[in-house]
Amino acid sequence: MCAEKTRDSVSDPEVTTVVVMRLYVAGGAPNSVQAIANLEAICQEHLKPGYKLEIVDVFEHPLRALADGVVVTPSLTRLSPSPAVNVVGNLSDRSKVLLALGLEEKVK
Amino acid sequence: MNGSNTPTSQPLPRTVTGIKGFDELSHGGLPRHRTSLLLGGPGSGKTVFSLQTLVNAARGRDEPGIFVAFEEDSRQIVANAATFGWDLSTLTKDKLFILDAHLSPTVVQSGEFDLTGMLAILKAKKEAMGAAWIVFDGIDVLLTLMRNPATEMREIYRIRDWLADNELTAIVTAKTDGAASEVWHYGFMQFMVDCVVRLDRRMEHGVSVHRLQMTKYRGSDFAAGEFSLSFGPSGIEVVAPEPAEIRHEASTERISTGFEHLDTMLGGGLFRGSSTLITGAPGTSKTTLAGKFADAACRRGERTLFVSFDEGADPIMRNLSSVGIRLKPHVKSGLLRMYSGRTEACSAEHHLIKLRSLIHEHQPRCMVIDPLSALAKIGGLETARAVASRIIYMVKDNKATVVITSLIDGDDPQAEATDLQISTIADTWIHLSYLVLSGERNRALTIVKSRGTWHSNQVRELALSDTGPALVDVYTAGGEVLMGTLRWEKEVEETARKKQRRTDFEHKQRELQFTEADTRARIKALELDLQRQQAELALYSRDDEARVLSSSERDRELRRIRSADPATAPTTVKRRDAAGSGNGSKARKETSDVR
């Protein structure tokens, strides 16, 4: 379950920085499943212009996750723009996620 | 560990931790492929205990381990390990792997999380390196982030199931600070695991002491009760209880105390492997006596350990050399090891562990502890007593002969009995005291007890001089012992009397010799006289014979010349010849010789 979803910006040419994120999940564990759903909703709502999201299943790539310093799942890392930001949990607290990702201002 | 046949009472198989003392009191270590919980307050040694176990397993038995650090980051752990000289850098990552499971404070938490992913990572790592051990250090740090007791419990179960599936021997550590809220979930954790060890750090009499207590060991007996935990230079050590049975061989070999006189008083010296207690007030030369014992041991070529408390090795050697006991050469030759401990620096148990490692390193046959009573200054008296007796038993276990000094107030040796109570364990007890007589303080030595041997019941004076200490017989006069000047006076008097007797005797001897010589001379003179007389007598008789012969020859000659009566004369001659025929011929020869 290593999927890469990319939405290219079409409608808003002002956005120059591309948000790159990686979400580490643990197979079909409830928190992981929820996290994917929550993140996708957030992305759709707040990251319309364009973003890159990689979902890494720790069950399939444990040693990669180890090398990346993953401790708990689910765990979200925003790789770009720097500095890197880490959010753990099923991302049910949307305002916290937005704050962490710096997406508050883009609320419509 | 011999379980019965029923599987329920079969004790769990164990894996040694390599932590000194712990494996003994747990009868073999932690339960294998099971989870043990290590609970304790901050700084109680949970991390050290678990990391030491992993290092021991990886180094000593080639069992790789994973250390999951929830509280500290791996750099801190490596740095802490270096203080114990473990040097984790020499262990490759496939022998000891430290996972930084410590969530950075910058991490944002949004909603629930779980350990499923981490356990998947650990499983992969475990399989990659073939790990046998795993430590979850500070699991509480992560669990409290969950802020939900039900979630915490769920994750604990998750860990337990994971551990059970993976055949790992696990140590889970968690902090307790005695708060009521924690009782619940650690109570639950204790129920879940197979072994619970509590670590505790507290202050006792101004000294920080560490204690270890096993509160649970499923299906097994274990040594209950609190045990001292000591942080030594190479890690922690549990001061395990001594075996219930005392197995000390009783030697009949005698070794010298360094004083011929004292050896005689003890019926030939100290028994090899025995313990001797020297008690006395300050300045009664306890150290001198102990020093002399050490010196004598080194002179016999025996390895000796001299432990002193609160006084440096150098001052001791200097002070002893002022009374003619020179220990420096023995230190140089390596026979003697001097160790000086500062009593307040650590707890009594620390000293015990230090002594144990010293004994292990030096392997002494003889040992001095001066003064053991210093231990009573630190910690509780109870602890000091227990440690003092353990030290004695430990030394005896190592078959070393030990001399212990103990400082007591006043002159009553019985004061010791209220202090460290070593006197009850010691085989020989020598008491030094001052006797004040005629305005003088003199050192007196008494043997209070000596097990299994005849010993003198007399008091001796210990006299110190730069040629060395010596035990001197005391004089008793009118029911009182004489020491110091009084003894000296008595001695001088005695010496003078002896001298006079000697002179008298010599005089008489010379007189008799003279008389004897005189008599001999007289005998000689008389003998000479006798010889002279005998010689004279012999000469005289020869002259006489010669004269007789010559006269008969003259007669014959005369007759021949005169030619008278040849018929009658020969008859006369013949008759005379017949009477002395032998003599005649001899006499003739003699006469011719004379001529």
Q: Which residue of A has its CA nearest to B146?
A: A89
Instruction: Note whether A67 contacts B: Cβ–Cβ < 8 A.
Output: no
Which residues between 279 and 298 in chain B have a beta carbon less than 8 angstroms from any beta carbon of chain A?
none
Residues of A in contact with B142 (CB under 8 A): 71-72
pLDDT of B590 reads 47
Task: Residues A1-6+18-84: name the CATH superfamily.
Answer: Glutaredoxin (3.40.30.10)
* CB within 8 Å of B108: residues ≥ 6 apart: A85, A86, A87, A88, A96, A97, A99, A100
* CATH architecture under which domain B12-106+113-239 falls: 3-Layer(aba) Sandwich (3.40)
Q: Do B116 and A27 touch (CB under 8 A)?
A: yes
Give the percent of chain B with pLDDT over 70: 84
Nearest Cα to Cα of residue B346 among B234, B242, B229, B214: B229
Task: Give the confidence band of B513 by pLDDT, cuts at 50, 70, 90.
Answer: very high
pLDDT of B584 reads 46
pLDDT of B418 reads 57
B458-461 long-range contacts, CB within 8 A, separation 24+? B458/B265, B459/B435, B460/B261, B460/B262, B460/B265, B461/B487
CA distance B461 to B437: 13
pLDDT reading at B204 higher than 60: yes
Which residue among A24, A58, A93 sits closest to B110, beta carbon to beta carbon? Answer: A93
Q: Do A100 and B110 touch (CB under 8 A)?
A: yes
Q: What six digits make up the tokens of B12?
A: 């769990």
CA distance B295 to B305: 11
Which residues between 23 and 52 in chain A have a beta carbon less than 8 angstroms from any beta carbon of chain B?
24-27, 29, 31-32, 34-35, 38
Task: Residues B254-473: name the CATH superfamily.
Answer: P-loop containing nucleotide triphosphate hydrolases (3.40.50.300)
Nearest Cα to Cα of residue B192 among B166, B221, B153, B225: B153
pLDDT of B305 reads 92
Q: Do B118 and A100 touch (CB under 8 A)?
A: no
Q: Which residue of A has its CA nearest to B112?
A: A89
Instruction: Note whether A68 contacts B: Cβ–Cβ < 8 A.
Output: no
Which has the higher per-residue pLDDT, B458 or A93? A93
Residues of A in contact with B123 (CB under 8 A): 62
Which has the higher per-residue pLDDT, A41 or B388? A41
Residues of A in contact with B112 (CB under 8 A): 31, 89-90, 92
Instruction: Note whether B148 contacts A: Cβ–Cβ < 8 A.
Output: no
Q: Which residue of B has its CA nearest to A58?
A: B117
* CB within 8 Å of B28: residues ≥ 6 apart: B1, B14, B16
Please give the C-alpha separations between residue B300 and each of B132, B137, B289, in angstroms, as whole numbers.
Answer: 51, 53, 17
Instruction: Note whether B106 contacts A: Cβ–Cβ < 8 A.
Output: yes
CA distance B270 to B455: 11
Average pLDDT over residues B557-581: 59
Please give the C-alpha separations between residue B285 and each of A62, B281, B296, B340, B468, in angstroms, as whole numbers.
Answer: 72, 9, 17, 18, 12
How many CB atoms sit inside 10 A of residue B367's CB? 28
Residues of B in contact with A35 (CB under 8 A): 111
Which residue among A72, A94, A99 sits closest to B114, beta carbon to beta carbon? Answer: A72
Side chain identity at B200, as an amino acid letter?
A: D
**What is the C-alpha R_g of chain A?**
13
B311-370 pLDDT per residue, tens: 888 888 998 888 888 899 999 999 999 998 887 777 777 788 788 888 888 889 999 988
Compute the mean pLDDT over every residue in chain B, rounded to the nearest whole number: 80
Q: Do A89 and B114 touch (CB under 8 A)?
A: no
pLDDT reading at A108 higher than 80: no
Residues of B in contact with A74 (CB under 8 A): 113, 117
Choose, out of B104, B110, B126, B154, the residue to mutate when testing the contact with A (most A CBs < 10 Å). B110
Q: Do A72 and B118 touch (CB under 8 A)?
A: yes
Distance from CA of A13 to the nearest CA of B (A): 30
Distance from CA of A89 to the nearest CA of B (A): 4
In terms of Cβ atoms closer than 10 Å to its own Cβ (0-12, 13-18, 19+), residue B348 is buried
pTM for this model (two decimals): 0.59
B4-36 pLDDT per residue, tens: 444 445 667 888 888 888 888 888 888 888 888
Which residue among A32, A34, A96 sits closest to B108, beta carbon to beta carbon? Answer: A96
Which residue among A31, A59, A69 sits closest to B112, beta carbon to beta carbon? Answer: A31
CA distance B39 to B17: 17
B441-461 pLDDT per residue, tens: 778 888 888 887 777 777 778
Specify whether the CB–CB gap between B471 and B445 falls below 8 A: yes
Task: Give the confidence band of B535 by pLDDT, cuts at 50, 70, 90.
Answer: very high
CA distance B148 to A92: 15
Which residue among B99, B107, B120 sits closest to A86, beta carbon to beta carbon? Answer: B107
Q: Do B108 and A97 touch (CB under 8 A)?
A: yes
State how beta strands B275-280 and B428-437 pair: parallel
Residues of B in contact with A85 (CB under 8 A): 106, 108
* Strand order through the sheet with B35-40: B96-100, B65-69, B133-137, B169-175, B35-40, B195-204, B207-217, B226-232, B235-239
CA distance B271 to B256: 9
Q: Do A89 and B110 touch (CB under 8 A)?
A: yes
B135-192 pLDDT per residue, tens: 999 888 888 888 888 888 888 888 888 888 888 899 988 887 655 445 455 667 777 7
Q: Which residue of B has its CA nearest to A75?
A: B113
Q: Do B109 and A89 touch (CB under 8 A)?
A: yes
How many CB atoms sit inside 10 A of residue B329's CB? 11
Instruction: Note whether B114 contacts A: Cβ–Cβ < 8 A.
Output: yes
pLDDT of B563 reads 76
Distance from CA of A106 to the nearest CA of B (A): 19
Q: Do B113 and A93 touch (CB under 8 A)?
A: no
pLDDT reading at B532 higher than 90: yes
Q: Do A66 and B100 touch (CB under 8 A)?
A: no
Nearest Cα to Cα of residue B146 among B111, B185, B102, B182: B111
pLDDT reading at B526 higher than 90: yes
Instruction: Note whether A75 contacts B: Cβ–Cβ < 8 A.
Output: yes
Average pLDDT over residues A27-42: 89
Residues of B in contact with A90 (CB under 8 A): 110-113
B229-269 pLDDT per residue, tens: 877 777 888 876 665 566 667 778 888 888 888 888 888 88
Instruction: Note whether B93 contacts A: Cβ–Cβ < 8 A.
Output: no
Distance from CA of B196 to the nearest CA of A (A): 26
CA A40 to chain centre: 8
Task: Give the confidence band of A15 by pLDDT, cuts at 50, 70, 90.
Answer: very low
pLDDT reading at B569 higher than 70: no
Q: Do A31 and B123 touch (CB under 8 A)?
A: no
Residues of B in contact with A26 (CB under 8 A): 114, 116-117, 120
pLDDT of B242 reads 61
B277-321 pLDDT per residue, tens: 888 888 888 888 899 999 999 999 999 999 998 888 888 899 888
Average pLDDT over residues B536-548: 87
Residues of B in contact with A70 (CB under 8 A): 117-118, 121
Average pLDDT over residues B42-52: 87
pLDDT of B529 reads 94
Task: Give the confidence band of A11 by pLDDT, cuts at 50, 70, 90.
Answer: very low
Instruction: Note whether B108 contacts A: Cβ–Cβ < 8 A.
Output: yes
Task: Using DSSP, state whether A60 is helix, strand or coil.
Answer: coil
B59-114 pLDDT per residue, tens: 888 889 999 998 888 888 888 888 888 888 887 777 889 888 888 888 888 888 88
Specify whether the CB–CB gap between A73 and B118 falls below 8 A: yes
